[in-house]
Amino acid sequence: MKIRQAKEQILLRVDLSSGSIKKEPIPEEWTEMYLGARGINSRLLLKEIKNGIDPYGPENILYIGTGPMDGVPIGMGRLSIATKSPRGCIAEGSSGGFFGPELRRAGYDFIAVEGISEKPVYLLIQDEKVEIKDATHLWGKTTYETDAALRAELKDPNFQFRYIGPAAENLVHSAMLFGNLNQAGGRAGCGEIMGSKKLKALAVRGHGGIKLYDYEGFLDAYKDFRQKLDLETSRDMWTPVWSTFGAPVLSRLFPDMGQLMTRNAQEMSWDYDKATAISSEKYLDSYVTKAKACWCCPWPSCQKLYTIPSGKYQGFKGGNYWAGQPITFGSLIDNGDLDLLLVLSGLCNRYGLDIFHVGYTLGWAMECFEKGILTKADTEGMELGFGRFDQDELINLVRKIAYKEGFGELLSLGCEGAAQRIGKGSEKYCLSVKGMELEAIAERNLLMVGLGIAVSEVGPDHTRWYPPYPCNPSLLSKAELDELGLDIDLKLAFETRNPDKKGELLRWFTISRAIVEALPSCVFLVRDSLGLDLRTWWKLFESATGIQQDYQEFVRAGERIMNLDRIFNVREGYGRKDDRVPYRMSHEDVKGFGYKKIDQDTLDRMLDEYYSANGWSLSTTVPKRSKLSELGMEELAEDLVSKGVEVES
């Protein structure tokens, strides 16, 4: 059994065109500069993927990355999945479960998948032994069927998997990777790219281990970490709620506050009885059969498994009811039936679809149908109004999206792709940014959310810049803020409708989240002051790896990562014009709540503050030479210039 140091990072490079398999060390200085997981994935993307390549071509590379903290027993079992998105920008998503720790035990930290296989294959990793295996028999299977087939074939219950469903095989917009049946990740198109490479699955089994550099120091940092997550001692109002009930509790909180996207966000409130019918409390009362946690998670588990107890869909099983589903398959399409909601969500997991793609595209289609832009001639005779649909037909439509059949083929493009095809003003009803659908968080009452979704490099993804409902601004005193070098007026920054200081706060949270995802840790473990005060993470990293750097240098790793992602996008032609909010959010006020639209002036004010704080050009958003120099990444400025990108000094 091989025991490795936590800081050691090894890349497994697999070329599906040639069949070659190589092991390469990750440069040691990269661990200091970018930590691991998302950070090193971003560095690899920029170094190895040439700008302008065809995302579906053999030159695109799919990276799956762990980090120095992965596999140590404190709930850090995350994966970063990254590639060039079919939309041209960076695609990156995080995922939990057990795959990351198992991969590290097998002796690897990153997998780079290059080329395209001639036939469907899966990658089998058993410690030193790595093989590309035929997967013809798996192609076409759902994620659940693939999981069962691989388990039967490999016979060892400790294998961990990542696989795609039929949606990714068929290159459906935003299709994802899955594991442990319901663990999804990489919604920005990572699954599509895996499908384009004809790679059905990855299977890994390892027998090694990870050694901490300083066990006692690590234990001290861990105690501090646990105290901040403890139900009694945490100072964060979300800790008790998230850890036991999960995010769908928001469905009962949001309708009164103008925060629940309803009928494709034409309204921001919903019937309270419907919201209650699909709430966490109802779900826990009658549907949950088992709590299931990721690798060593200190929380009571957020991915609860369910079985529909009675009625038409009795016996249907699934898992992971979280914040997205009550909106995407609830209020957004005006469905107050929890059974139907769980079937739609469960089918997305089986077909390998992104719930946000499907929910928001259904919402768009329903609005188009009600406005006469789409008719029964388009929908194959289906009635498609908000709350006015046949349940079985809607369920079948999800299947058609995954297989690109009939009307489902149009919706498989995502709302933006579908709107571009049919036109007729339907673009106004797309709730998307950079070609990717929103993720159920309201913007007009929380301006930082508006800014966050506008600038996010992958498209809307609040996990890249912290939960939008910020922790209590009084969590840190002025003296503590000074100690941390955080020169932000938190009180002003947390004023939800005031555009001032949103750029500065968003910058900090983007850095903070980049660090957490590079260690990597889980978005839901960043509670209490752990998103503002990174010293606990710093101590955990230092004691695990033995890498000693001062706190500000540790923080700079997060800043480097956010700059890498921006550079990737500007190389592909993205810029200020793409940092925007959906038409509805910039042109319509929220009725009945007094929340104004985010007009261009307001957005520009926040964008200017954000770009300035980052040291980026206000016109092109390209990081300035002085900023790249400060971060020790001067060579990236030269690289940009060589590609014809103007870099301001």
Partner 1 sequence: MKVVNLRYVAAAYPLTGRLYEDYSTQADTLLGLIEELDRKYRGFKSMFCDTATGKLRINTMIYYGDKEKVPVAVLDLKQPISEGAKITFW
**Residue 232: burial class (beta carbons within 10 Å; 0-12, 13-18, 19+):** exposed
Tell me, residue by residue from 325 to 354, as one string, x for binding to partner 1 by CB under 8 A and - for no binding: ------------------------------
**Closer CB to partner 1, residue 258 or residue 363?**
258
**For partner 1, the closer CB: 254 or 616:** 254
Number of residues lying near partner 1 (CB under 8 A): 23
Q: Closest distance between partner 1 and the C-beta of residue 594, in Å? A: 8
**Is the bond leading into 309 cis (omega within 30 degrees of zero)?**
no
CB half-sphere exposure, 316, CA atoms < 13 A: 19
Strand pairing category for 305-307 and 317-319: antiparallel
**Residue 328 Cβ vs partner 1, minimum distance, rounded to whole Å:** 21
CB of 410 to partner 1, least distance (A): 38
Which residues have a Cβ under 8 Å from the Cβ of 93 and sit 6 or more positions away? 80, 81, 82, 176, 185, 186, 187, 188, 190, 458, 461
Q: Which residues contact 112 (CB under 8 A, 6 or more apart)?
A: 11, 12, 13, 14, 44, 48, 61, 62, 63
Q: What angle do CA 440, 82, 449 make, to 5 degrees?
A: 25
Run of H or E residues at 307? strand 305-307
- CA dist 163 and 397 (Å) reads 23
Among 126, 244, 396, 612, binds partner 1 (CB under 8 A): 244
Indicate the DSSP class of residue 26.
P
Among 237, 424, 608, 618, binds partner 1 (CB under 8 A): 237
- 256 vs 646, beta carbon nearer partner 1: 256
In the region spanning residues 582 to 601, those forming contacts with partner 1, defined by CB under 8 A, are 593-594
Residue 88 contacts by C-beta under 8 Å, 6 or more apart in sequence?
Answer: 55, 572, 573, 574
Q: What is the DSSP string of 448-493?
A: HHHHHHHH-TTSS-GGGS--SSPPPGGGS-HHHHHHHT----HHHH
Instruction: Give the interface segment with partner 1, choosing from 137-145, 227-235, 449-457, 564-572 (CB under 8 A).
Output: 227-235
Dihedral, CA of residue 238, residue 240, residue 245 and residue 248, to nearest 10: -10
Stretch that binds partner 1, among 14-22, 122-130, 253-261, 338-346 (CB under 8 A): 253-261
Each residue 598-637 as x (binds partner 1 by CB under 8 A) or -, in order, gives: ----------------------------------------
Secondary structure element (H or E) that encloses residue 124, with its range: strand 121-126
Alpha-carbon distance of 161 to 147, in angstroms, equals 8
C-beta of 21 vs 257, nearer to partner 1: 257
**Identity of residue 559:** E
CB of 260 to partner 1, least distance (A): 13
The conformation of residue 348, written as its DSSP 8-state character, comes to: H
Q: Are 263 and 367 in contact (CB under 8 A)?
A: yes
Q: What H or E segment, with its residue span, contains residue 81?
A: strand 79-84
257-296 positions binding partner 1, by CB under 8 A = 257-258, 276, 279-281
In the numeric block, the tokens 């406005």 are attached to 371
Q: How far is the CB of 301 from partner 1 (least distance, A)?
A: 15
Q: How far is the CB of 484 from partner 1 (least distance, A)?
A: 20
Quick one: 156 or 232, whose CB is closer to partner 1?
Answer: 232
Instruction: In angstroms, give the least distance from the CB of 253 to partner 1.
Output: 6
> For the window 465-484, what string marks contact with partner 1 as x by the rule CB under 8 A?
-------x------------
Nearer to partner 1, 249 or 637 (CB): 249
Q: How would you classify residue 290: left for phi > 0, otherwise alpha for psi between -120 and 50, otherwise beta?
A: beta
Whichever of 226 and 404 has its CB closer to partner 1, that residue is: 226
Do residues 382 and 400 touch, judged by C-beta distance below 8 A?
Answer: no
Binding test (CB under 8 A) with partner 1, winner from 70, 236, 337, 579: 236
| CA dist., res. 632 & res. 56, Å (int) | 33
When the beta carbons of 257 and 481 are compared against partner 1, the nearer one is 257
Closest CB to partner 1 among residues 311, 594: 594
Out of 148, 219, 253, 618, the residue judged to bind partner 1 by CB under 8 A:
253
Residue choice 208, 209, 240, 300 for contact with partner 1 (CB under 8 A): 240
Q: How far apart are CA 48 and CA 41, in angstroms?
A: 10
**What's the min distance (Å) between Cβ of 217 and partner 1?**
28
148 binds partner 1 (CB under 8 A): no
Beta bridge partners of 266: none
Q: Which two tokens stand for residue 218?
A: 């690590």
Nearer to partner 1, 206 or 246 (CB): 246
Q: Nearest approach, Cβ of 487 to partner 1 (angstroms)?
A: 24
245 lines the binding site for partner 1 (CB under 8 A): yes
Range in contact with partner 1 (rule: CB under 8 A) among 24-32, 33-41, 240-248, 408-416: 240-248
Q: From the list 154, 241, 296, 645, which residue makes contact with partner 1 (rule: CB under 8 A)? A: 241
Q: Which is nearer to partner 1, 97 or 258 (CB)?
A: 258
Residue type present at position 425: G
Judged by CB, which is closer to partner 1: 81, or 250? 250
188 versus 493: smaller Cβ distance to partner 1 = 493
Alpha carbons 131 and 124: distance in angstroms, whole number: 5
Q: Using the minimum distance from each CB to partner 1, give the nearer residue, 212 or 277.
A: 277
Closest to partner 1 by CB, 235 vs 312, is 235
CB of 452 to partner 1, least distance (A): 21
Two tokens, residue 564: 């890498």
Measured CA to CA, the distance from residue 215 to residue 544 in angstroms comes to: 7
The interaxial angle of helices 391-403 and 338-351, nearest 10 deg, is 10
CB of 280 to partner 1, least distance (A): 7
Contact predicate 303/292, CB 8 Å:
yes
Residue 293 CB, shortest distance to partner 1, in Å, is 19
Taking the complex as a whole, the smallest distance from the CB of residue 463 to partner 1 amounts, in Å, to 21
492 binds partner 1 (CB under 8 A): no
CA distance 314 to 562: 46
Cα(504)–Cα(425) distance, integer angstroms: 36
Residues that bind partner 1 (CB under 8 A): 231, 234-237, 239-241, 244-245, 249, 252-253, 256-258, 276, 279-281, 472, 593-594
